[in-house]
Copies of this chain bind each other. A is one copy, B any other.
Amino acid sequence: MLETRSATKPELAINRLLQIAVEVFAEQGYRDATVREICTRANVNVAAVNYYFRSKEGLYTEALVFAFTELNKLYPYQAAEDVGLPPEQRLNLFIQHFLNKLLDDSHLGIPGKLISREIAEPTKALDIIIAKAIIPQCALLEEIILVLLGGQADKMLLQRCVMSILGQCLMFKHSRSIIDRLFPEAIAGPAAIQASSQHIAAFSLAALQQLKPAAECPL
Contact = CB atoms under 8 A, between A and B. Distances in A.
Interface of A: 29, 31-32, 119-122, 126-127, 130, 134-135, 138, 156-157, 159-164, 166-172, 174-175, 177-179, 181-183, 185-186, 195-196, 199-200, 202-204, 206-207, 209-211
Contact of A210 (B183, B186, B206): B206
Contact of A168 (B163, B174, B202): B163
Given A121-B29, A170-B175, A163 B183 contact: yes
Nearest to A168: B167
Given A31-B31, A174-B120, A130 B182 contact: yes
A166 B178 CA distance: 11
A210 B211 contact: no
Contacts of A157: 199
A164 B177 CA distance: 16
Given A170-B175, A177-B126, A199-B160, A138 B210 contact: no
A125 to B, nearest CB: 12
Nearest to A155: B185
Contacts of A162: 183
A130, A138, A159, A160 — which one has the most chain B CB atoms within 10 A of its CB?
A160
Given A156-B186, A163-B179, A171-B171, 17 more contacts: A119-B174, A130-B182, A138-B182, A159-B183, A160-B200, A163-B168, A163-B186, A164-B200, A167-B171, A167-B172, A167-B175, A170-B174, A170-B175, A174-B174, A203-B204, A206-B209, A206-B210
Contacts of A119: 174-175, 177-178
Contacts of A196: 160
